[in-house]
Chain A
Amino acid sequence: MRRGPLLWAAALLAYAFLYIPLIVVVVFSFNDSKLSAAWVGFTTQWYVALLHNEAMLGAAFNSLVIALLSSAFATLLGTMAGIAMHRYKLRFLPFLVITPVAMPEILLGVSLLLFFIQVLHLTLGMLSIVIAHTTFCVGFVAIVVRARLAGMDESLFEAARDLGATPWQTFRLVTFPLILPAVIAGALMSFTLSLDDFVITFFTAGVGVSTLPLQIYSMVKIAVTPEVNAVSTLLMLMTLSLIIAASRFSPHLFKAKA
């Protein structure tokens, strides 16, 4: 189908609206001015300054640890949930698993905070953040894994049993290799979601533990410094590469046609 010029213009406008703010951040992260109001000249000094910012490095380290742990747990639980949803066509199971995905973050944040403090009597910190992040990532992994299974010929798994594989061998030699792309895509998505999360982390972090998004927020409260732009640019880059990696593993998630 031929696309008219009007459609092109509309698309351009929409993409401009989406991406110009991001580009501005990237551009000003290289701006040689403390005030970042106007372009002065090119510099990489803000990236160098980041490397010497103890608070920022600590937050980045926390973010990575949390993202690694919560994406690992979420992938394990989400994969099991995805398989269970596929196998035992129960009505309520998908609801239970997917609801946290659709729930407003602020609601999830507040309820997790109450749960940790009043029910578990947990001191807020790394552990509470990891549990919180795992909670909202499980659903994403489960959805991806189930989608992959739904598109698969059921007789493949029966064939494995038929040819002499025990249920566990069937999982190890047939089911798992076949859903692996979805599992990896789910893991990468969870990692990104955890890395970028602000709202839920804000409620479940307590004092003393900071993550990158929290750190950026606390810096922005004073002023949008070029250093914030620099760290945002890095975060953006990381997210982007993870999304691209995820799309490589599970192309059907990002395409209209399989």
Chain B
Amino acid sequence: MALLEILDVSRRFGEFTAVDNVSFAVEAGEFFTLLGPSGCGKTTLLRMIAGFDLPDAGRILLDGRDLADTPPERRPIHTVFQSYALFPHLTVAENVAFPLKMAGLAAAEIKRRTAEALDDVRLADKGGRYPHELSGGQKQRVALARGLVNRPRLLLLDEPLGALDAKLREEMQLELINLQKEVGVTFVFVTHAQAEALALSHRIAVMNEGRVEQMDEPSKIYGFPKNRFVADFIGNINMMQAKVARAEASRLLLDVPGLGTVEAPPRPDAAPGAAGVFAIRPEQVRISAEDHPVELKNRFVGTVHDLLYIGDVTTYIVDLPNGVKVEALLANSAPGRAQLFEAGDRVAVAWRHDAGMFLHE
């Protein structure tokens, strides 16, 4: 039996449907992420799991038990809020001890477990400080310690890394992964940052307009997006209008205006004549000089329109015939190299026949 089960849950605010008939299950020990743009319903869903809001339809089960009649304080579920929500009038240690006190534990036990929890997040020496005396990363760790100290069945994290700067965020990501492994508590993480979701999660549910678009492991979500929304939302992707010309067991032949025939991986549900897009990640597109021989069938010649030097990689935007634009990624692995091509250079772009995918309209 799954730890948390969301069964056909819907929530409406007036005319607006925030969560639209969503179902999924989270296994014990899992790091599960709800990913989507703002307003996709992920926070509403989180609030219903925590008990701050109730579904209009459907059920939320924890260990098989319906939570509908359980107020937030009686659910063995704790939340790490986006703003951390540390009590400003209490010290760090008092903040961490709060859930233990509410649970009615003995004073000695509270003291021991508070010290332990602060130790886990490397804040053993900060117990006497007040939240406003801490840095953003430290506040974050106090919030985590407070959320975990009473061993909840489930820890909900609402964009907890949103307020941190990029460098700190990366550090905290590693720390979160390790902490989750260590304590073994199930995490349900909410974020709109796809890179964060890919890095942290065991499984991701991509949400849009109140519905779950796709639910899978990070590599599957990134590599095999189910539809245009998921493909577009997760990472960068090239998309070009395409029509299925021929559907075979081992491959699809697509007709892409301007390029001609493009060979793509097979798809059982793609029938000849079906309209959609051909989508391919920039890092799967190889770029080379026009006259450089390439043994790939999907090879097209164009002009470098623009380039973006990001440091580790350079993104080239290549103009192909008929206004098709393709982005290609090239790693700057040679020392001191910033780019191989200039804007205006004639180049060839190519990709393997098993790269990219056809997505229906």
Contact = CB atoms under 8 A, between A and B. Distances in A.
A161 B83 contact: no
B81 A159 contact: yes
A153 B102 contact: no
Interface stretch (A18-26, A70-78, A130-138, A164-172): A164-172
A165 B99 CA distance: 8
Contacts of B99: 163-164
Contacts of B77: 162
Question: Majority SS of interface residues in chain A?
Answer: helix
B78 interface: yes
Given A163-B78, A165-B102, A158 B150 contact: no
Contacts of B52: 158, 161-162
Contacts of B71: 161
Contacts of A166: 73
Contact of A156 (B50, B74, B87, B146): B87
B83 A163 contact: no
Contact of B81 (A158, A164, A174): A158
Give the contact-size bracket for chain B: 20 to 34
A155 interface: yes
Contacts, number: 59
Contacts of B82: 155
A162 B88 contact: no
A242 B322 CA distance: 79
A23 to B, nearest CB: 41
A163 B74 CA distance: 9
A178 interface: yes
Contacts of A178: 88-89
Interface string B142-163: 0000110010000000000000
Nearest to A174: B87
Given A174-B87, A177-B89, A178-B88, A164 B79 contact: no
Give the contact-size bracket for chain A: 10 to 19
A155 B146 contact: no
B89 A153 contact: no
B73 A153 contact: no
B85 A156 contact: yes
A178 B50 CA distance: 24
B308 interface: no
B2 interface: no
B85 A155 contact: yes
Contacts of B89: 177-178
A164 B73 contact: yes
Contacts of B146: 163
B94 to A, nearest CB: 10
Nearest to B103: A164
A169 B102 contact: yes
Contacts of A156: 85, 87-88
B130 interface: no
Nearest to B156: A162
Contacts of A177: 89
Nearest to B75: A162
Interface of A: 153, 155-156, 158-166, 169, 173-174, 177-178
Interface of B: 50-52, 71-74, 77-79, 81-83, 85, 87-89, 98-99, 102-103, 146-147, 150
13 contacts: A155-B82, A158-B52, A158-B72, A158-B81, A159-B85, A162-B52, A162-B78, A162-B79, A163-B73, A163-B78, A164-B150, A165-B98, A177-B89
